[in-house]
C-alpha cells in the first residue's frame, strides 16, 4: 500500500439505474478509498446520469457497433480502461454490490506481486430461481473452469490487449484468464465477495440470457476448444464436490436442476442458430 495506487472501477451500463445506485454505494463504502469510477453508457433513458453525478463518477457515452442481440460489455470495458487513470483496473456490472473490503484485499495481493485477482461471486434476489442461482454460484468458488479475474494490473491488461471484443457471453472473461495463464502471469484469489443483485428473477429471463450466451459461445469454443470444453460441460466436478450443499437445500436443488436444464437447452438453441447463420 506504500505506493497508494489508484484503482479504476469500470461499469458498462444501459438503463441500469434500478441496480446501479447500490453498486455505486458499495464502491463509495469501500475501506480502500483511492478509486475512480468510470461508467460507460450508451444513451440510457433512466436515472443513470444523475446517479453518476451523485456518486462522482466519470461517465462516457459510447455506442459500440455490435449485432442486435449480442453483448456489448467487452467493448465498453475496454473503452473504460483506455480512459482510466488507475494502476489497477477492476470491471464490474451494474447489478453487482461489493463487500466493503473487496478493493483493499485485491490491492494487497497485487502490491505483493500478483498480476490479477479473482473475486468470488455470490448472489441474492427474490423467488425460487434467485435461490437456485445462489446455490449455483456457491459451487463455483475455487473452480478455475468458471471463475475468472476481474481485477487486473493495468500494465498487464495492456500487454494482453484487454478483452477480446468479439467474444461475448462470458467467454471474454475466460479468454482473458487463459491469456494470463499462457503468458505466465500470476493470479490470486481473495475471500471478500461480489454480490449479484438478481432482483425478481424469472426462468424466462434466465432462458433469454442463456440463449444470447449460446449465440456468442461458438466464438470462444473455436478460439479455445480445450478450455471451453471444461467451462461449458454441464456435469461439473464442482457440483459433486458440493453435494452436501445440495442435500442441505433440497427445494433449491430441485429448482437448480430445472434451471440448469432450461439454460443449457436455451444455449444449445443459440448455438444452433449461430451455426445456421454461418452457412
Give me the residue label for grid cell 473452480.
143
| C-alpha to C-alpha distance for 228 and 235, rounded to whole angstroms | 14
pLDDT for the residue numbered 278: 75
Contacts 24+ apart (CB under 8 A), 170-176: 170/213, 171/216, 171/217, 171/219, 171/220, 171/223, 171/228, 172/73, 172/74, 172/77, 173/148, 174/148, 174/220, 174/224, 174/227, 174/228, 174/231, 175/220, 175/223, 175/224, 176/148, 176/149, 176/152
Domain spanning 7-201: which CATH class is it, in words? alpha beta
- Strand-pairing partners, residue 122, are 195
C-alpha triplet 177, 178, 183: angle, nearest 5°: 100
pLDDT for the residue numbered 69: 64
Instruction: Say what the pTM is.
Output: 0.93
pLDDT for the residue numbered 152: 98
In the predicted model, residues of the chain with pLDDT beneath 50 are 1
pLDDT for the residue numbered 276: 86
pLDDT for the residue numbered 66: 77
DSSP letter assigned to residue 190: -
Amino acid at each position: 500500500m506504500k505506493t497508494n495506487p489508484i484503482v479504476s472501477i469500470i461499469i458498462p451500463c444501459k438503463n441500469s439505474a434500478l441496480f446501479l445506485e447500490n453498486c455505486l454505494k458499495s464502491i463509495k463504502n469501500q475501506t480502500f478509498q483511492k478509486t475512480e469510477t468510470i461508467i460507460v453508457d450508451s444513451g440510457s433513458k433512466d436515472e443513470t446520469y444523475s446517479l453518476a453525478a451523485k456518486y462522482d463518477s466519470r461517465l462516457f457515452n459510447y455506442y459500440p457497433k455490435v449485432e442486435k442481440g449480442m453483448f456489448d460489455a467487452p467493448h465498453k470495458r475496454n473503452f473504460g480502461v483506455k480512459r482510466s487513470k488507475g494502476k489497477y483496473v477492476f470491471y464490474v456490472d451494474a447489478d453487482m454490490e461489493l463487500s466493503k473490503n473487496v478493493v483493499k484485499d485485491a490491492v494487497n495481493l497485487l502490491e505483493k506481486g500478483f498480476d490479477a485477482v479473482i473475486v468470488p461471486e455470490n448472489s441474492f434476489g427474490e423467488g425460487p430461481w434467485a435461490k437456485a442461482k445462489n446455490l449455483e454460484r456457491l459451487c463455483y468458488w475455487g473452480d478455475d473452469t468458471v471463475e475468472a479475474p476481474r481485477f487486473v494490473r493495468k500494465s498487464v491488461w495492456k500487454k494482453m490487449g484487454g478483452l477480446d471484443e468479439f467474444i461475448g457471453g462470458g467467454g471474454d472473461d475466460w479468454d482473458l484468464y487463459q491469456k494470463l495463464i499462457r503468458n505466465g502471469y500470476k493470479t490470486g484469489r481473495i475471500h471478500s465477495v461480489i454480490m449479484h443483485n438478481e432482483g425478481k428473477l424469472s426462468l424466462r429471463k434466465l432462458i433469454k440470457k442463456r440463449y444470447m450466451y449460446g449465440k456468442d459461445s461458438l466464438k470462444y469454443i473455436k478460439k479455445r476448444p480445450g478450455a471451453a470444453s471444461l467451462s461449458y460441460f454441464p456435469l461439473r466436478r464442482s457440483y459433486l464436490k458440493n453435494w452436501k450443499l445440495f442435500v442441505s437445500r433440497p427445494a433449491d436443488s430441485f429448482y437448480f436442476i430445472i434451471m440448469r436444464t432450461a439454460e443449457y437447452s436455451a444455449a444449445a438453441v443459440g448455438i444452433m442458430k449461430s451455426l445456421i447463420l454461418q452457412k
